[in-house]
Structure 1
Amino acid sequence: MSRAAEEYLFSVAHCDPWHYDELNDALIEKAKRHAELHRVDPLTLIRDDVASLPGFLRKPLETRIKYLEKSEDPRHLPTYLNEVITPSLVRIDKVRANQASLSFQAMAGRDSLDQLLRLAELNQREVKRLSTLVAAHIDMIFIQLCGEMLTDELASPIVILELYRRVAAEVSRLNVIPPGYEALRSKHNRRNPINYELIPGALARMRCADWWQRKLWQLRNEWREELLRAACLVHRHASPYVSHDILLQKREQRRKAMDFFRNHDLINEDGDTLSMEDVVLASASNPAHRRNEMMACVKGLELIAEMRGDCAMFYTITCPSKYHATLMNGKPNPTWDHSTVRKSSDYLVDTFAAFRKAMHKKELRWYGVRVAEPHHDGTVHWHLLCFMRKKHRRAITELLRRFAIREDRAELGNNTGARFKSKLIDPRKGTPASYIAKYVSKNIDGRGLGDTVSKETGKSLRDSAEHVTAWASLHRVQQFRFFGIPGRQAYRELRLLASQATRAMKTSKPGAPVLMDPKLDAVLAAADVGCFATYIMKQGGVLVPRKNYLIHTAYEPTVEPGTYGDHGIRIYGIWSPITGKENKICTHVHTWKMVKKAPANPGAESAAQGDPVAPWTRGNNCPQNQITNIQGAVIDIAIPEITREDEETGSFDVRKLPAKDLRVVMRRITVTSKTQ
């Protein structure tokens, strides 16, 4: 029996009080029949449990059950129900219990916040309504605390900080990290002083419905995805890496973003206008540009390693079995402890941080790039392309292996290959850049992979790129990370400065210095030609402390405050320790504002907005004639404006039509005359 039917039958408001006992007896008798049916056929109980699940879980499971019912082998359906559905139902209940902690349930017990317990089932409109209620609740708590704590007109910063922490504690009960939490929370070993200027903006965010809508929508998607993983709906045989729901959602999100960019321009204080779409496609957010920059940087590391005589190693680190939700055959993993995808990523980050500390204590150094990508069920694993001295290779490999397999060591036995793999790259068989190229392309846009099939999912790597990018966006996983080299943002700013200097100094001969200091100009020249190897060496080389690089990215606070009254940080340009921070070079001279493009048809736009438009006449009240061609495509015939002479004579000269439209009209007249 469905939940809606039970609520209807048990609700006194919908029942006649005189017949309530009869309905109750009928319901008890029906429950007895169900119990007897379940005893005779236990599979019926499993199917009833599936029918009680939320729609996003019930529909794909019932679709699979109906498919197996039509199977020629009658053993398929019982096997699926017993080996997949039964443990999945238990996993779903445990995942729900982990998501809704006791503090979360206490918050959901407040007035009008009970929908928090159904957060994974809500749509976007319902989440928006719920975010308004949550923001109102936090605002009420804030007002109450202000009345208790701010008794004086001039409150001290310590009191304001305590007010923030108490409001932030209430926000944390909803599994949401409060804004500015790391910078403002109490620490025993704090290195930097507390920045009290962050408090007003943080309090404004926690009381804003729009801020809560973004946070709750992100939390809803993460919860929904983890429930789908628990139901064995995210794996190589169903939907690899990420669920089908999230894939469609991210696809629609990208479409809306591109439509937004097409409909807006950027304008500066001088009146110069740029198409927002062109700016986005020319930036590093363009997958093609991102991939090219990544491969150029890897090639630069390869050339530096050859010059230094370093060797290249390729490592693969995988999480323990308890982080994997589904086996390769699509069945539930019995050792999964309901860990989320985010927790598997945090495990690898913490393991790498501990290894890095141990490596530095032993005075071992390396440089390279790390790629994070998903297993078929969404669990994170890492690939590392590392360069090091040949004499340090064995020590670094053994140390990394020890940290990679130290958790749940007993499950590996003598075979540690399931958790850690290492391979020395032989230049005679392939370059380091060729080893990492597949992983870079697979995690960006799939360009250059052709029809290569993934061994894990059995699907094309090029087609899987969309799944991987949706997975990284949902779980906020940093896919690529370089270490041991200068930052790439300074490289981009130098290239921007070089292009600006080229336009400004049109009369100068090619190769003329741009910066006064020869060392700094050499770094700029290397970045301008796109040679990462020369850029890194001119900056100071690899394995150099960040403070010793010649050129850094310069930042400054924004001039105008943001939505919440605080000033953000934006890129100003570059600066060098040689010249000092006071001699920064600006690469972002103009301040750009976003404006909406003027509509191509102002009258149509005005009508859509409800503004007054021109009155209807015989000329503008007639829609364009639409004729379909042989293929069924619509052909629009633009009718010219009717002149005063046409209105007086009551006639219209067809010869005024353009030649193309005239041919269409004549063809239509011919077809009409033949049919008559």
Structure 2
Amino acid sequence: MAVGKCRQLFAHYELGELQFTDYEILKRLSDERFWQRRLRHKSNEALAETERALHLVSSRRGLYCGDKTFENFEESLLKSQEFLERTLLVSADGESVNLAEVSEHTIANPDVLFAEWMVRIRGFEQVADYQGHVGVMITLSTPSRMHPILKASGKPNPKFDGTSPKQANEYLNHVWQLIRAKFSRSEIAPYGMRVAEPNHDGTPHWHILLFVEPDKLKHLKRIVKRYAMQDSPNEKGATKYRTHFVDIDRERGSAAGYLAKYIAKNINGIKGAREGDAGRRSAARRTRAWASAHGIRKFAQIGGPSVTVWRELRRLSHSVKDETLEELRLAADSSNWAAFCIAMGGFGGTSKRDIHPVYSSSSIDEQAHELANLNQYGEPRRPRVIGLRNALFGVLTRYKKWYWMSKSPQPRDGVGMLY
């Protein structure tokens, strides 16, 4: 009875789904930190939506998000950095490393994330050249009723219906699902990247870079146009602004160059050598604040092989006996996404190579660290990636178990979470 009521309240106040058993829910509802996390996320989202509703988000006020939302995001980044700097990762054999140092070399670092996305975009472009495919940049926008501010005048939009950025992004995602389903029925298998970014008033739009066979390009465009225009097709400007296509002309620039500015704008503000441009970095941080407040995933790969397999192979510093895995490892180790795609044997669709991650169980197998195999509610932790498998051959990519330990004067009780 009580659990059922809690599920209803969580749904009513949009505090997130409770995808747990009744017993697990009761344990979480008794935990102050569980409530804090849910309420903090919801309050951040509510603040961002309120600032937008009050017309505090626009090119004339707070670009992409309200100033208070941006201030809260910057504060959270500082707190996260403080946590990283006062935290150690400790292995079972006693090796230790500062978590902040580790973070600098992962995709948690915006510059590293930017570099990885650019490697994959250039790789897809090389694959397209190899296959004789063509590229197209698609901009997919929402109906005008989802925009609170008119861009030209900066005045409130009388047609605005109160759609939040999250709801607008869900609308775009739904349209894209319909498009992809039609692609599948039409035997069109494009591959590429998608970037979700905010308009000046916080309403999202998507930039999508796709590669496809030349004879299927026109049909692809017709499909995108058809589904993008299903909502409010007769409104003023719909035909002109709802979708926009730019065919990639290699004589004028690379496909990677077309998308690079959008990726930079939404990660670190850097494009080319303009690393000293403080304005670009500030705008990029505001897009990150916007995405964080509204729970919007900004980047997604379309088609192509598994990124998890790619990242796990890059962890290996030695050769492996399996011929296929070694070929893939060499491609990944040299940051050659194109060679990796070719070695995986597929373009634009599913991989023809049965290479998949191997996950460990969370069973308690070490008495000294048995607390680290359980979460704060005494439940086994989720399985984690430990290696890769090709048919009957497997290879470990993670040799050590790491646990975090606070360097602060008041460390938390017990052993930290498994890394």
Other-structure match for 2:414: none
Distance 1:464 1:170 in 2: 37
Query: How far is the alpha carbon of 1:486 from its aligned partner?
Result: 1.0
Query: How far is the alpha carbon of 1:462 from its aligned partner?
Result: 3.6
Other-structure match for 1:345: 169
Which is strand-richer, 1 or 2?
Answer: 2
Task: Tell me which of the two structures has the higher relative contact order, counting C-alpha pairs closer than 8 angstroms and 6 or more residues apart.
Answer: 2
Other-structure match for 1:27: none
Structure 1 residues 177 and 492: CA distance shift in structure 2, 3 A: same
Distance 2:18 2:394 in 1: 30
Other-structure match for 1:232: 55
1:595 and 2:405 matched:
yes
Q: Gaps (5+ residues) in structure 2?
A: 364-372, 411-419
Other-structure match for 2:245: 422
For residues 214-255 of structure 1, what are the alpha-carbon distances to aligned partners after superposition, in whole Å with 9 as ceiling and x for unaligned? 111211121122121111111000011011001111111111
1:573 and 2:412 matched:
no
Other-structure match for 2:355: 551
Other-structure match for 1:528: 333
Distance 1:375 1:492 in 2: 32
- Give, as a single letter, the amino acid of the residue that structure 2 aligns with 1:578: A
1:179 and 2:18 matched:
yes
Which is helix-richer, 1 or 2?
Answer: 1
Alignment of 1:254-293 (within 5 A): 254-293=77-116
For residues 527-575 of structure 1, what are the alpha-carbon distances to aligned partners after superposition, in whole Å with 9 as ceiling and x for unaligned? 11110000111112223325x4332222233341101222232433333
Query: How far is the alpha carbon of 1:302 from its aligned partner?
Result: 0.5
- Give, as a single letter, the amino acid of the residue that structure 1 aligns with 2:218: R
Structure 1 residues 229 and 598: CA distance shift in structure 2, 3 A: closer
Distance 2:181 2:4 in 1: 32
SS state at 1:369 partner? strand
SS state at 1:569 partner? coil
Using structure 1 for the length normalisation, give the TM-score: 0.57
For the 8 Å contact 1:241–1:374, the answer to whether it is kept is: yes
For the 8 Å contact 2:57–2:63, the answer to whether it is kept is: yes
Structure 1 residues 598 and 204: CA distance shift in structure 2, 3 A: closer
Using structure 2 for the length normalisation, give the TM-score: 0.90
For the 8 Å contact 1:172–1:178, the answer to whether it is kept is: yes
For residues 590-618 of structure 1, what are the alpha-carbon distances to aligned partners after superposition, in whole Å with 9 as ceiling and x for unaligned? 2212222377xxxxx9xxxxxxxxxxxxx
Distance 1:577 1:169 in 2: 45
Other-structure match for 1:392: 216
SS state at 2:179 partner? helix
For the 8 Å contact 2:309–2:388, the answer to whether it is kept is: no
1:335 and 2:145 matched:
no
Distance 2:193 2:24 in 1: 36
Which of 465, 468, 472 matches 2:291?
Answer: 472
Please give the root-mean-square deviation of Cα atoms over the aligned residues, in Å: 2.2
- Give, as a single letter, the amino acid of the residue that structure 2 aligns with 1:180: Q
Query: How far is the alpha carbon of 1:261 from its aligned partner?
Result: 1.2
1:200 and 2:23 matched:
yes
Distance 1:420 1:578 in 2: 44
Query: How far is the alpha carbon of 1:448 from its aligned partner?
Result: 2.9
SS state at 1:226 partner? helix
Q: Gaps (5+ residues) in structure 1?
A: 1-140, 143-163, 182-197, 453-458, 502-513, 600-604, 606-676
Query: How far is the alpha carbon of 1:488 from its aligned partner?
Result: 1.4
Alignment of 1:211-250 (within 5 A): 211-250=34-73
Query: How far is the alpha carbon of 1:412 from its aligned partner?
Result: 3.5
Distance 2:159 2:78 in 1: 39
SS state at 2:384 partner? strand
Aligned residues with identical type, % of pairs? 28
For residues 326-362 of structure 1, what are the alpha-carbon distances to aligned partners after superposition, in whole Å with 9 as ceiling and x for unaligned? 1113211111101111000000000000111112111
Other-structure match for 1:319: 142
Alignment of 1:355-504 (within 5 A): 355-412=179-236, 416-448=239-271, 460-497=279-316, 499=317, 501=318
Distance 1:309 1:337 in 2: 45
Distance 1:281 1:368 in 2: 27
Distance 1:337 1:236 in 2: 20
1:519 and 2:324 matched:
yes
For the 8 Å contact 1:441–1:449, the answer to whether it is kept is: no
Alignment of 1:610-629 (within 5 A): none
- Give, as a single letter, the amino acid of the residue that structure 1 aligns with 2:30: R
Structure 1 residues 451 and 327: CA distance shift in structure 2, 3 A: farther
Rg larger for: 1
Query: How far is the alpha carbon of 1:264 from its aligned partner?
Result: 1.7
- Give, as a single letter, the amino acid of the residue that structure 2 aligns with 1:596: S
Structure 1 residues 209 and 438: CA distance shift in structure 2, 3 A: same
Structure 1 residues 219 and 279: CA distance shift in structure 2, 3 A: same
Other-structure match for 1:653: none
Structure 1 residues 353 and 171: CA distance shift in structure 2, 3 A: same
Distance 2:141 2:13 in 1: 31
Distance 1:374 1:303 in 2: 29
Number of residue pairs aligned between Structure 1 and Structure 2: 399
